[in-house]
Structure 1
Amino acid sequence: MALIWCGAAQAQQAVPEPDTSPALEEVVVTAERRTSNLQQTPIAAAVFSGEQLQNKGVTNIESLQFAAPSVTVQNSGMGNSFNIRGIGKTENSSSIGVGVITYRDGVAAFPAYLQNEPLYDIASLELLRGPQGTFAGQNATGGAVFITEKNPDLSDVGGYFTGQFGNYDQVRLQGALNVPVTDTLAVRLAFNTEQRDSFYNVVEGAPTAGDPGAVDNQSYRVSVLWQPTDALRVLFKTDYSKLDLGGYPTTPVGSTDGLFDIRTNGPFAAQDEMLRSVLNISYTFDNGIILRSISGYQDGSSLVDSDTDGTATLPFTSHIDVSQRLWSQEFNLISPDTGPLRWIVGAYYQDDLITFPEGGYITTQYLSSTVPLLVATTLVGRNPKTTAAVFGQVSYDLTDRLELQVGARFSRSTVENEAVSAIPALGLSITQDDRVVDEKVTGKVALNWTLDEDNFLYGFVATGYKAGGLNGPNILGVTPGAFEGEEVVDFEAGWKATMLDGRLRTQIGGYYNIYENFQVIIGDPTTPTITTISNVTGETKIYGLEASAQGRFGALGLDAGLSLSHSELGDFFAIDQRGSLTGGCDPDTGPASSNCVNVGGNAQTYAPEMTVNLGLEYDFAVAGGVLTPRVDYSHISETFGTIFANEARGDRLEPRNIVNAQLTFEPSGDAWKVQAYGTNVFDEEYIGAVKSGQRYAGPPRQYGVRITRSF
């Protein structure tokens, strides 16, 4: 940033004419249920347009970690471990909720499975850092992502078509068509398809089924906007996706093979199919008060077959066929933006059902690490969950420049397990029919000071909560029962500034989080041969600094982000299932032994001490148009995949340095655009995630050409 600043200053000294480049466009956020200027909103956030996401190589949630500070996403198959500031989700279990919730067009997306939906025809993406205990409620202890897809436009016929062709025989087609049917009714159609060969080479054995890692995706969207009056607005959207990712190949921790050289004797499949419908109705009364209703229905299924040992010798396999259905309804009543007092009240209800049908969950492995008896374990059942909440926020101008905000949310959640786990070959089974109810109040108190139109200071205390739940049935022991909800208290302060006549925009802030009841999967304290979801009993402390900037100086554009963080787990004695499983281990007192380890003082999982994002582009006027090279650099420092931070067992994930590049040519006065692109251009080989002793590879270098025609 210093070099860029000095370079820009020298260039301005060398050229006598003043910089007449326009100011940056205002960035707005809508996550607090009303539209507000990001630079005057007390929240740490990054906001991207659809074009910015494409320029940065962000095509899904996983790649978002290379575009924004404090973010890590570990893709280990059916679900992502999405964490912001080290808080979110580190265990791939449907029993554990997410801590970073994703909304699409105002509706909370699936929180367990079905995480690989592509980003296409996007209007904006808002990434909020820190607990969102007022508006997003439970499942937002680490933050939230609000994705808004492009809406129909009543003004004119328009759209675009993009063809992308890359290595690994990739073909990606994308487009949209906007049609105003009448003065009050418009329709927008959008689609995205992608085919790509696998990144992987089979060096021993052969898959018994499937093409591990090959991609064949299809997504379609229909949006309808009806606005008969200025007061009434009705927006309906339906998304359908059928994603075939071929499977999730892995290599064992400690393997000397390359990450893309696999050994296998098992089947591979990774198929997601999902449907989402959203109905957003808003009505503005004569006094300016807005009544809004957002209804959502989502239905999906996920099928995964995998070789769970990553070898061509052991016959360890997993077959998971799961379905998920999610209903949600939210009502908002929003005051006008005028006057010293502004308020929002709302209500929310969500009904989430995960189903494992007969034959839908079968894992084949040794009975335990100490008993080499090959068995198949089955699971059949349902996991119903509900959440009901009421919430509100009041903003009051104490003076012309000083504002007080107070928000709160009361949530009540229920979790049920209706399941049977069995080992048919041994004639063993265990049934569970349990229910747990959780209630919590979260919220935020903020004091905001507008120094002038270009400088905004804020400080707040916010709380977040992720509900507890139930451990599933386990054939090797008594079901451990319920685990508690996670709690976060966030103390935060920041300064947002706009400088140089609107050409440079900055954010800088600091936070201190107290994190309690972190949910982890470990060896059961009394029966270590089985696993249980437990809570870290000691307080985890996470604190740090974050800064970001966006600038435009004539032909030069830049954006940057930086986070510095420190984390320490609280005292907690636990058994690492990868080691000796003898004896017990009291979570509070231990005593410490070779297999009962105090993890206190270790870094929080997936909490890097430093992340850096830097993007640069420059517009060159050339014959016939504008040529724009762009480079994006991202650094994520080392992280640990488990609370045990055991490097010998593969817990340490090496730092990642990812460079994306793009060269765009736009002919003068034409609607065509041609782009040459590359992601991970130095082909860095890195472990994207570690789970159950297996390594998951991050994507290698991809490159190609993208041609867009707008109309």
Structure 2
Amino acid sequence: MKKFTLKNNLLGLSISALFMGVAASPLAQEVSTAQNPEKIDKSLEIIEVTAERRVVNLQKSPLAASVLQGEELEKLGIMSVDQLQFAMPSVTVNNFGQGINFNIRGIGKGEHNSQTTTGVITYRDGVATFPGYFTAEPYYDIERVEILRGPQGTFAGQNATGGAVFVTSNNPDIGGSHSGYIAGQVGNYNDKALQGAINLPISDTFAARVAFNTEARDSFYDIEGPYTGDDGVRLASTRLGLKWQPNDDLSVLFKTDYSYLDLSGYPADPVNSENDMFDITANSEMVALDRFVRSVLNIEYILPNGVALRSVSGYQKGNTTYKTDLDWTSVGNSTFRDSVDQVIYSQEINLISPNNGAFKWILGLYVQNDQYDFPEGEFVVGLPEGNIYSEYSLQGTNPKQTRAVFGQITYDFTSSLQLEVGARYSKDKTSNDVTVLQYGTPLESIQTAEFSKVTGKVSLNWDVQKDHFLYAFVANGYRPGGLNVDVGLGLPAPFDQEEVTSYELGWKAQWLNDHLRTQFTAFHNDYDNFQVIIGYPDYPTFGFELNTPETTTISGIEAQVQAVFGEFSMSLGMSKLNSELGTFYATDPRIPSVGACNVISGPESASCINLNGQEQTYAPDFTFNIGMEYNFVLSKGTLTPRLNYGHVGEQWATLFENEALGDRIESRNILGAQLGWAYNDWVVTLYGTNITDQHYVGAINSGARFAGPPRQFGLRVMKMFF
């Protein structure tokens, strides 16, 4: 429904300097090693994933996934979702502020409105989060982040055609001590940050954990013109966790988060501007403010027969406010503003069999209600603002409902050969009850559409030998369709649901007594009904969202490597991708044109373009990342230099691949470095991100380019207490 939402890669990446949200246990181990610097034959730790509702060993599961523990996030400089693309294969994140194009293997989200849902869903502490807005939520006091690549049609459901991200914060520790950390940071751009957490074991059955994160820094931009706003970043987040476990069979965990994220604005300039992208002009006020709360209640009870009954309840409420200069210069007077409220209620119930025996199963039920509210006078495009005949305004509500049942069975034919079968039935409903005032013409859109689909996965898993695991599966996923808003041509047709069928082969291995670990994956995706905005087929003057008529094919290979040899450790990831659209005729809505353009038959002309063979949007053909570190054991502590490098290849922002309109997003090459010293319960780190100061386009939207963050550097100091 929302065609004018603008986003900006600055939103999350602008706070990339700070991350000190690490679990107490890994740092405690590091500090202990620093105090006792004897040589230890280190091997890689077992990595576990919980995204499929059961704890499994990543190296023995049919999942293409990356798992980062809290300490690893800090070493990689990952503070929010944007930096994930520089730390793992096949991931691209183009952040426009109020929402992101998060794509895995070229599948996720390509359009920027509230009706086009995401194809890469993010879970926080077991709850599916806001699917479009509130993308700047920071990572702090995190236990782990799991990134699953490929459709997750059984467990993550209708918004996981590309993959899913599971973020888990640190839980209260009932058996632990009054432990925690406090950390501060100073850096360039007058950056100042403070973060901390404390575990409070109140009794033998009850504990609490309190964590917080704050940051303030100056703007990256030098803005000239009548408006010179953008006052930098002011962030504040806090989390309270409560855990009650009266016996071994019952556990109750409650967490509530609140975030106040003031980014000031999302500055940008026209796509083909020749000036430095941090030196821009503007003549309209800029605002970028997100405020939201999330509460999660997780209850688990072990029945007498060993079956686990689990309930996860979620409540999320937020407001996102945005204002910008829509022509991106001080010459024009086009503006945009919105203030959108969103509320989500969700409930998931699982029955999980014991994790033993040849036959295992999981059953689940999921319900979610999600509503956008657009208050009167708060969603306005002004050309210029202040006159009903030069404004486009929208008000009303967009409620959505999701209902699903799912399950998975696992059967061990032998000790080394296993079959997994999972399925999910999803039913989705979206409605518009909105009124549009389109340059003086009142239009009412009252419409409802429903979508449903059975998705799932069939996997054959083979433990070839102790250190080698092979799998092959076919999986599919779907993303519901949505509604177009009336543009004066009558109530427009909805756009249909997307469907992805994925075929994947994987080999996971451990080498040299588990000092070296590898994952290799080959996949092919048939991607049907990609949701895209083109010129209205009969009246190309207007934009209209529909589905590509033929299958898009996306194929690729991925590799991940982890190694530890003595005091040296490294991680590496890469992907090679090829994508190709089927026959699809379309009119670019940015170019004036006349005449009908049928999506199947054309006819082909200067404005009715056959996009057959074009690449999928946000699908770079190559990504690569590597990180390396070495621990120098000193008489007092450990000195650890570390280098991180991430490459995301060039990609297209639209299917039209029009370089003159700025559709090509050039490659990103981000180099980071750290020098850390750990001694007793102190950790001091010198850090730098984007050391080469590459000025790169982080995103393109609505004729504007949005810059990724420049070079940042500074000093972090952390004090642990146990």
TM-score, with structure 2 as normaliser: 0.93
- Between the aligned partners of 1:213 and 1:81, the Cα distance in structure 2 is 26
1:319 lines up with 2:337 in the alignment: yes
1:412 lines up with 2:424 in the alignment: no
Residue of structure 1 in register with 2:582 after alignment: 570
Deviation of 1:213 after TM superposition, in Å, equals: 6.1
Preserved contact between residue 477 and residue 530 of structure 1 (Cα < 8 Å): no
1:380 lines up with 2:392 in the alignment: no
How big is each residue's C-alpha offset from its partner over 1:441-478, in whole Å with a ceiling of 9 and x where there is no partner? 0000000000122111000000000001111232x433
Matched letter for residue 420 of structure 1: T
How big is each residue's C-alpha offset from its partner over 1:248-284, in whole Å with a ceiling of 9 and x where there is no partner? 0111011111111111000100000000000000001
Deviation of 1:373 after TM superposition, in Å, equals: 11
Residue among 398, 406, 430 paired with 2:413? 398
Residue of structure 1 in register with 2:151 after alignment: 131
Residue of structure 2 in register with 1:109 after alignment: 129
- Between the aligned partners of 1:255 and 1:213, the Cα distance in structure 2 is 23
Preserved contact between residue 267 and residue 305 of structure 1 (Cα < 8 Å): yes
Residue of structure 1 in register with 2:461 after alignment: 448
Preserved contact between residue 520 and residue 536 of structure 1 (Cα < 8 Å): yes
Deviation of 1:204 after TM superposition, in Å, equals: 3.2
* Structure 1: stretches of 5+ with no match in the other structure: 1-18
* Structure 2: stretches of 5+ with no match in the other structure: 1-38
Residue of structure 2 in register with 1:43 after alignment: 63
Change (3 A) 1:374 1:623: farther
Deviation of 1:315 after TM superposition, in Å, equals: 0.5
Residue of structure 2 in register with 1:265 after alignment: 283
Residue of structure 1 in register with 2:479 after alignment: 466
- Between the aligned partners of 1:153 and 1:313, the Cα distance in structure 2 is 58
Residue of structure 2 in register with 1:4 after alignment: none
1:188 lines up with 2:209 in the alignment: yes
Matched letter for residue 70 of structure 2: G
Deviation of 1:202 after TM superposition, in Å, equals: 1.3
Residue among 566, 580, 584 paired with 1:554? 566
- Between the aligned partners of 1:494 and 1:250, the Cα distance in structure 2 is 42
1:284 lines up with 2:302 in the alignment: yes
SS at match of 2:71: helix
- Alignment of structure 1 residues 341-356 onto 2, 5 Å: 341-356=359-374
Residue of structure 2 in register with 1:94 after alignment: 114
Comparing 478-487 with 171-180, greater Cα deviation is found at 478-487
Residue of structure 2 in register with 1:357 after alignment: 375
- Between the aligned partners of 1:366 and 1:435, the Cα distance in structure 2 is 32
Structure 1 segments of 4 or more deviating over 6 A? Answer: none
Deviation of 1:582 after TM superposition, in Å, equals: 1.2
SS at match of 2:85: helix
Deviation of 1:655 after TM superposition, in Å, equals: 1.1
Deviation of 1:480 after TM superposition, in Å, equals: 2.1
How big is each residue's C-alpha offset from its partner over 1:645-679, in whole Å with a ceiling of 9 and x where there is no partner? 11111001111111011100012xx1000000011
Residue of structure 1 in register with 2:9 after alignment: none
Preserved contact between residue 79 and residue 92 of structure 1 (Cα < 8 Å): yes
- Between the aligned partners of 1:282 and 1:156, the Cα distance in structure 2 is 24
Matched letter for residue 697 of structure 2: I
SS at match of 1:592: coil
1:65 lines up with 2:78 in the alignment: no
> Percent of pairs identical after alignment?
49
Residue of structure 1 in register with 2:34 after alignment: none
Matched letter for residue 246 of structure 1: S
- Between the aligned partners of 1:479 and 1:68, the Cα distance in structure 2 is 43
Residue of structure 2 in register with 1:7 after alignment: none
Deviation of 1:286 after TM superposition, in Å, equals: 2.4
Matched letter for residue 157 of structure 1: H
Preserved contact between residue 547 and residue 562 of structure 1 (Cα < 8 Å): yes
- Between the aligned partners of 2:586 and 2:41, the Cα distance in structure 1 is 59
Residue of structure 2 in register with 1:174 after alignment: 195
TM-score, with structure 1 as normaliser: 0.94
Change (3 A) 1:20 1:706: closer
Preserved contact between residue 97 and residue 135 of structure 2 (Cα < 8 Å): no
Residue of structure 1 in register with 2:22 after alignment: none
SS at match of 1:470: coil
SS at match of 1:206: coil
Residue of structure 2 in register with 1:675 after alignment: 685
Deviation of 1:353 after TM superposition, in Å, equals: 0.2
Preserved contact between residue 272 and residue 661 of structure 2 (Cα < 8 Å): yes
- Between the aligned partners of 1:263 and 1:194, the Cα distance in structure 2 is 26
Comparing 688-697 with 213-222, greater Cα deviation is found at 213-222
- Between the aligned partners of 1:218 and 1:523, the Cα distance in structure 2 is 42
How big is each residue's C-alpha offset from its partner over 1:310-358, in whole Å with a ceiling of 9 and x where there is no partner? 1101110001100000000000000011100000000000000001001
Matched letter for residue 314 of structure 1: G
Matched letter for residue 297 of structure 2: L
Preserved contact between residue 506 and residue 519 of structure 2 (Cα < 8 Å): yes
Preserved contact between residue 213 and residue 249 of structure 1 (Cα < 8 Å): no
- Between the aligned partners of 2:382 and 2:344, the Cα distance in structure 1 is 30
Preserved contact between residue 489 and residue 513 of structure 1 (Cα < 8 Å): yes
Matched letter for residue 112 of structure 1: G
SS at match of 2:155: coil
Matched letter for residue 530 of structure 1: F
Preserved contact between residue 333 and residue 384 of structure 2 (Cα < 8 Å): no
Residue among 194, 202, 207 paired with 2:223? 202
How big is each residue's C-alpha offset from its partner over 1:425-452, in whole Å with a ceiling of 9 and x where there is no partner? x3x1100111011110000000000012
SS at match of 1:664: strand
- Between the aligned partners of 1:302 and 1:277, the Cα distance in structure 2 is 18
Residue among 322, 339, 343 paired with 1:304? 322
Change (3 A) 1:101 1:118: same
SS at match of 2:73: helix
Deviation of 1:605 after TM superposition, in Å, equals: 0.4
How big is each residue's C-alpha offset from its partner over 1:612-641, in whole Å with a ceiling of 9 and x where there is no partner? 010000011234211100000111111000
Residue among 650, 656, 671 paired with 2:662? 650
SS at match of 2:46: coil
1:422 lines up with 2:437 in the alignment: yes
SS at match of 1:65: helix
Comparing 219-228 with 358-367, greater Cα deviation is found at 358-367
How big is each residue's C-alpha offset from its partner over 1:75-131, in whole Å with a ceiling of 9 and x where there is no partner? 112101000000000111001000000000000000021111000000000000000
SS at match of 2:156: coil
Matched letter for residue 394 of structure 1: I
Change (3 A) 1:384 1:373: closer
Matched letter for residue 206 of structure 2: L
Deviation of 1:599 after TM superposition, in Å, equals: 1.1
- Alignment of structure 1 residues 440-589 onto 2, 5 Å: 440-474=453-487, 476-589=488-601
1:638 lines up with 2:659 in the alignment: no
Comparing 570-579 with 604-613, greater Cα deviation is found at 570-579
Comparing 580-589 with 125-134, greater Cα deviation is found at 580-589
Matched letter for residue 481 of structure 1: A
Residue of structure 1 in register with 2:677 after alignment: 665
Preserved contact between residue 364 and residue 374 of structure 1 (Cα < 8 Å): no
- Between the aligned partners of 2:454 and 2:94, the Cα distance in structure 1 is 30
- Alignment of structure 1 residues 328-343 onto 2, 5 Å: 328-343=346-361
Matched letter for residue 260 of structure 1: F
SS at match of 1:62: helix
Aligned residue-pair number: 681
How big is each residue's C-alpha offset from its partner over 1:145-191, in whole Å with a ceiling of 9 and x where there is no partner? 00000000012110001101110011111100100000000000000
SS at match of 1:567: strand
Preserved contact between residue 199 and residue 213 of structure 1 (Cα < 8 Å): no
The CA RMSD measured in Å over matched residues stands at 1.3
Deviation of 1:366 after TM superposition, in Å, equals: 7.4
1:245 lines up with 2:266 in the alignment: no
Residue of structure 1 in register with 2:16 after alignment: none
